[in-house]
Amino acid sequence: MSKTKHSKQFSLLIKPASADCNLRCEYCFYIDHLGFYPESKIHRMPLDVLEKMISSYMSTAQQQYTFGWQGGEPTLMGYDFYKTAIEFQKKYGKNGTLVSNSIQTNGTFLDDKLVSLFAEYKFLAGVSLDGPAEIHNHYRKTHSGTGTHEQVMNGISMLKKHEVEFNILCLVSKSNARKAGELFRYFIDNGFNYLQFIPCVEFDGNNVLAPFAITPEEWGHFLCGLFDEWMHYGPEKVYIRGFDAILARLLNNSISQCNMASNCCMYFVVEWNGDVFPCDFFVKKELLLANIMNDSWEKIESSEIYQNFGKQKSMRNSGCRICPYLKLCAGDCLKHRIYGSFTRPDGPSHLCEGWKIFFKHSLPRFKKFAEKIKKMQAHS
């Protein structure tokens, strides 16, 4: 099988069940997408689409083939689907091919059979958990309104039992934005040392910040509190994705998160039916790039819609040009720049003032810690 040359590496974020989910979390931005494919109430990726996606992707020249399974809730697909996906990866990958699989899950559908498969093939699992039960259950509920904390913890126990590597994804919303210290201690007490925190920023149809979403100041102060706890506990003991991304930028100028890049052409979203979009936050009809059943990755990569979408990242607000923190935030994620009444990418990030609060508070200590790491590396 010949490999097609590509000028740029890319990964896939796959939504095999589209927006379908067994939960109904109030703040989920994908609730609005439940009617995105109205021709069917239930969305499951057919095996011919799965095979075409994997075979075509693995015919491109990548250093590593990265499959991120997401949703909705991707575990709705069940054991047989992921077993088949792995068989296709084996079929279309040459000896020595590097393949990685990750799955982002709410943790409530994990069972022995599925998790044992994840363990055998070294899946990395991300589990959504917003903190202790009284915080987590505030928004993360079933269709009937029941909290899900106990189910999630049972799912995590299953991952531990099978020794599947996992990290915690915590959404920072109105329920926990003022509880950074409590969250950090809760996660550490439970032995969760790989953490990711993302801000809940959503607007309603009237361009008003949703009641569960956070203000810039709440985000900034949350990060400051989290950073202080991290530094006090020992930053070398706990991986916090956003903080480690800042360190990587300071240490070797590398970019490990797409929001820190100057262009948004980083990965592709593949929907259940093979439709391809440029970003998880921008699955919109006008940004449909192609369908993998009909179009090549070469054509998708070079599409005018995709290239123009990516370039928007560098169309920053004028205030960014004189900001001392531009290198670290790159103007922030487009999702936080194109929102509400801001319909152009040169709008200021909704979280801009929060980022400034955080960087002013933390950057001197980040730099000091980065210097410490450099010295350790020099003597190793």
130 is catalytic: no
d(CA 334, CA 341) in angstroms, rounded, equals 14
Contact 181, 229 (CB under 8 A): yes
**Active-site residue, from 48, 228, 275, 280:** 280
Active site residues: 280
